[in-house]
Every structure is written in structure tokens, then in C-alpha cells.
Amino acid sequence: MALIEAQHLHLAYDRREIVRDLSLALPEGRITIIVGANGSGKSTLLRGMSRLLTPKSGGVLLDGRDLHSLRGKELARRLGLLPQSPLAPDGVTVRELVSRGRFPHQGLIPQWTEQDERAVAEALAATRTDALQERLLEELSGGQRQRVWIAMALAQQTEVLLLDEPTTFLDVTHQLEVLDVVRDLNRERGTTVGIVLHDLNLAARYADHLVAVRAGEIHSQGTPAEVITAQMAHEVFALDAHIAPDPVTGSPMVLPRRRDRTPSPHHHEEDPVSTTTDTAALVPALEHSSTLAFELTVAARRPLGPSLVRFTFTSADLEHFGTNSHPLDLRVKLIIPGPQASADHFAPVRPEGHLDPATHAQWYRDWLQIDPADRGWMRTYTVREHRAAGHPGNLSAQPEIDIDVVLHLDPVEQPGQGVAARWARDAQVGDTVSLLGPNRHLVGPDYGGIEFRPGTARTVLLVGDETAVPAVGSILEALPASISGHALLEVPEAGDAQQLLSRSGVQVTWLPREGRPHGELLDAAVRRLMSENNAQAFRDAAADGPADDGRAATHEELEDVDIDETILWETTTGHGAFYAWLAGEAGAIKSLRRHLVSELGLDRKQVSFMGYWRQGRAEH
């Protein structure tokens, strides 16, 4: 069990203070439920107690240690958080999502162990989701999905679990189902639990300790019987209610008569959180959007060769950027400015922005309806390096990121094509651009924009063209000395080769095309390497032990992917001792996919294929 407590906590978004001088300890091994009206600050309090929001003053202690003094993975091993409306990448199975709860217990390159396997199995069983483990998350009902998210939090095996409105949008049956799982967890493991809830009657039924919050301050706290009174309903919820015992549980039950129009004696005219119809629906982007829009300034532009240029971007906003881990092959979106921009189309998802949860999911479709000359063009890139403020390699006092851009310039300019390359050619220090990337307060190393997941592999094959060089460079920097293998990189000219640093034993081979067809050298090099190293050894590496029954490998028949109509994107978390990661022009990657899987018989679970772009088409 663990004690988590807030001491004189002040929390704010920019200059707007939400939580004021609040002190609260969650009783060890008990269920604490926090209630309050919309805009009362209860979710903000939970964010502050989970280190997602830095206090303006005051602090949060976990067993006497300041939360902000704990390293990221150390905190994640001790404190779990389930935010409102969590998001998962498409195509994720229940088991894959729950397994991500084990990331805090692993090193930079995940190594799956029996302890991890046992933790996942216990989490699935505890939440009664073991029968669902092979199903896709999007196929499940709302209640089932919430149980799966709780299972992921259980797999973390933390001493403290915080949940922000876990029953939102669920019907009554599923609300009870989810809260029953949480109560069972608390009773069986002694986990200290903190929950934000809207429903007073559910709070009274499940809470050991109840806290009522109004205008960023604690109105009252204690047992449900002590807190839930007619006076509290009036002062906190502006509700005229009769309080009676629940005939089933004996806990206090709130029976509303009507909304109380009498002003509360504690009403503040200057309350910074409006609850009018227009603004009550808006919520802070920092709390609710896993992707944020960052306004960046070009701090430096440096050619890396004839075909690549490195941009260093800086912004105070970047303190909210990242996945709390090494970026590896993290993908982000640059918004190339349009010539006739009329407004900031990403204002709701700026770090200081507010968005409408009811319409947020359709923002991309809405953005596409705007004239490109106004909205600009969205292009995908890899973060080559991310440096926090104060890093000795920074050019400014602010956080910085490096992004390498390939200068694929068309000989004849076509509307809507080559816009990113032309921007990169012409951009100067001081220019500004927007970037869509991960909100570090809501995402972790399991973020869907990272695809390099080698699992237990000790030998890796990294294959890419010039568009994949930044990702490979970043991956190589993260690999430990225990990893060996090959990186094959095809670039337009010999001058595009770079010095890529790595502690690993991965050998880097540069393949300058010098006018040859795109992918020709890469295809030949992969075929030669796989022949030299005996593909049978890589097939055996996927199994528990070497194949010794003399049977021929099974060569899987791949479904065809029309790369002119869809994106070739097939990624996996590796298993076994060998893992391959291939990215670049879709036609070349499709050919290598056929060779490795259909012709050589490699298990598809050993290889990730990504068509970053398609020759002859506009950038993705």
C-alpha cells in the first residue's frame, strides 16, 4: 500500500487558477471518490496528483517523496492512471493493449519475461477479459473496453490507481460492472484507489472515503454518510435534494426534488471556470487530446548532403511534447503553411486550447474540407532528436526537436505536390510552422506513432531509403550493445551518407543509387544478406527452439496490397530472436515484403513493413 497526498496544491492553465491551496491525502488501501459539479476542478486535481499537470505551487507526495523527483518509469511502476476517454491505435487486440501496461517494468528495448506474462494473465483474469484477449478493442462494448483499459492499468502492478470518470458514456449495467472490478482490485490487492465520478449515488455506494470539491477547493470529506447531506447537495451541486438510505446497500441516496435556484453562500462571481452552456462543454486540450498542435520556430537549417536538410525547431510549447521515452521512429505531422491562411485551424488543440469532446473526433474530416490554400498541407516526418530545455546541445533556452527533410523536388511544379520539399528548400531561420505530435501528459512509450517494437530480438535488420534514414538513425542511437544486425540504407547520392552513432553491434551499409531505379540496390542487398545469413536461421529464431524435424518452412501466401489505392502498413511487436523493420517507397517495400514472407517463409510477426511514400504520388 502507498500514501499519496497533495499539500497546498495550486493548479492552473496559463493564468487561470483551477485548484486553490488544496491539501488532500488518499487513505492507504481504500477507495477515495472525488465528486463535484462540472468545472469544479475535480479532474484537474486528479491530473495534478498524477503529475500530468505541474503545480503552480505546492506539491504531491508519494510515500513522502515529491512526485516530480521520481523518474518516469519509477513513477509508472508505482502509480497508474486511467484518463477520460483513453485512445488506442486501430487494430490493437485486447491482449496487446493489456501487455502495454508492462512497459514501465522493461528497459529501453523491451525484453518480455515470465513475470510480464504472469502479470498480463492475472490482469486479464481479474477484469474478466481473458476470454476477449484475441479480439480487437474496437469490436467490444463500452463496458468491455473500460474493463480492458483497467486491465492494462492492473498489468502495471502499481500501488496507486487513479481513474478519471471511468463510467462516462456507459449504461447503468456497465457502470456497475466497471466499478465492481475496481472494488475487487482494491479488496484483493490493497491498491490505493482514487476515482473522479459524476454520479453521487454510485459514489456513495463504492467509496470508503468521499471528497466533495467546489470551485477548486475541498468542500467536505469523510465517509459517504458524513459527506452526502442536503446542505452539500445545495452548496456543491445547487440541488434541492432529499437524502435517504439506499434500500439495498444502506449508503446515502440522493433524491433530487429540483435544481436549487438559491445562490450558494460560497458562490464566487469571479469563478474562473464558467458553467454556461456555451463554455461548459469545452475542456482543456492538455487534459483530453492525445495529439497537440505545437507552433514551432526554425532555429537552424543545416544541409546533411545533396538530398537531405536538417531543421532544428524550438518552442516553449515543446515542454508538452513527447512520449516520456526515446522517440525511436516517432512519426509527427508538419503543417506546411498555405499562402492564404485566414485563421489558426488548430487553435482548439494548442497546449493552451480548449476543445469540444463531442466533436473532437471529427477534427481531421473538418480540416480536410478547408481550402488547402487556407489550411495548408499535412506531411509526415520522423523526429530525429528531441531535447529538453537546458540540454547542452540546444541552440536556445527552450526545448528543441530536429527533423530531417528529403528534398524530393519535382522538375515541374504541380499544384499540391512537392509542397514540403519546396518549403524545406526555401525556409529560413525565424520562420514558423505547426506540428501535430504526442501530448506527453496523456501518452507513453506505447504511443501509436512509434512502430519499432523488436520485443525479445537480439538481431535486427533495418532497411530503408532516404525517407527512413532519420528513423533508422534515431533507432540506432537507442539500441543497447547487446543488439547486433544490419542496417541497409539506400540514398540518392554518395554524399547523402551520414555518420550514425550507436552503441549496438549493428553494421550500417550505405547504398548510393547514383541514377539507378529506386529500390534496386536495396532489394539486391536484402536478398544477398538473407542468403548469406541463411534465412532458415531467422525462421528458427521465431520459434521457441530450433526446428529439428526436417520439415520445410511454410511459405505464407500474402494478400495483395494495391499501393496506388492504399498505404502499405503492416507492423508488429517482434517475437523470437530476430526482428526486421522496413520502411520507404511503397513499391520497393512491397517487393521486399513478398520476398521475406512468401519466398523465404519468415513469420510475419518478425517483420514490420511501412510504405512511407509512393513514387509518382503526392507526399503522404
Reported as half-sphere exposure (CB side, CA atoms, 13 A), residue 538 has a value of 25
Cα gap 290→305, rounded to integer Å: 35
User: With bands split at pLDDT 50, 70 and 90, how would you rate the model's confidence at 539?
Assistant: low
Pairing of strands 377-387, 331-336: antiparallel
Length, in residues, of the chain:
620
Structure letter (DSSP) for residue 206: H
Q: Which three cell numbers stand for residue 232?
A: 452539500
Convert the pLDDT of each residue in 584-613 to its tens digit. Answer: 999 999 999 999 988 888 888 889 999 998
User: With bands split at pLDDT 50, 70 and 90, how would you rate the model's confidence at 540?
Assistant: low
* Cα–Cα distance list, 377 to 119, 311, 372, 373, 415 (Å): 44, 18, 6, 8, 11
Strand ranges across the sheet with 578-585? 505-512, 484-491, 459-464, 578-585, 607-613, 569-570
Domain boundaries, the chain: 27-52+68-256, 284-438, 459-545+559-613
Is the predicted pLDDT of residue 619 greater than 80, yes or no? Answer: no
Cα gap 169→85, rounded to integer Å: 9
Angle at 143 between CA 138 and CA 147, to 5 degrees: 85
Q: Which CATH number fits the domain 27-52+68-256, given the four candidates 3.40.50.300, 1.10.15.40, 3.40.1190.20, 2.40.430.10? A: 3.40.50.300
**Three-state DSSP class for residue 169:** coil
Residue 416 falls in which region: left (phi positive, over 0), alpha (psi -120 to 50) or beta = left
How much is the pLDDT for 15? 65
CATH architecture, domain defined by 459-545+559-613: 3-Layer(aba) Sandwich (3.40)
Strands (E), 262-307: 283-284, 291-303
Convert the pLDDT of each residue in 435-477 to its tens digit. Answer: 999 998 888 877 878 999 998 888 999 999 999 999 999 999 9
* Angle of helix 114-126 versus helix 142-155 axis, rounded to 10: 140
User: With bands split at pLDDT 50, 70 and 90, how would you rate the model's confidence at 72?
Assistant: confident
Complete DSSP assignment for 325-345 = S--TT-EEEEEEPPTT--S-T
Over the chain, what is the mean pLDDT? 85
User: With bands split at pLDDT 50, 70 and 90, how would you rate the model's confidence at 508?
Assistant: very high
CA dihedral 136, 138, 140, 146 (to 10 degrees): 110
Same fold, 284-438 and 459-545+559-613: no
Per the model's pLDDT, the better-predicted residue between 7 and 247 turns out to be 7
Cα gap 117→145, rounded to integer Å: 21
Q: How many CB atoms lie within 10 A of CB 283?
A: 19
User: With bands split at pLDDT 50, 70 and 90, how would you rate the model's confidence at 295?
Assistant: very high
Placement of cell 517523496 in the chain: 65
Structure letter (DSSP) for residue 516: S
Across the range 571-586, mean pLDDT stands at 90
CATH architecture, domain defined by 284-438: Beta Barrel (2.40)
Residues of the chain above pLDDT 90, percent? 48
How much is the pLDDT for 273? 28
Placement of cell 490487492 in the chain: 189
Structure letter (DSSP) for residue 263: P
Per the model's pLDDT, the better-predicted residue between 549 and 105 turns out to be 105
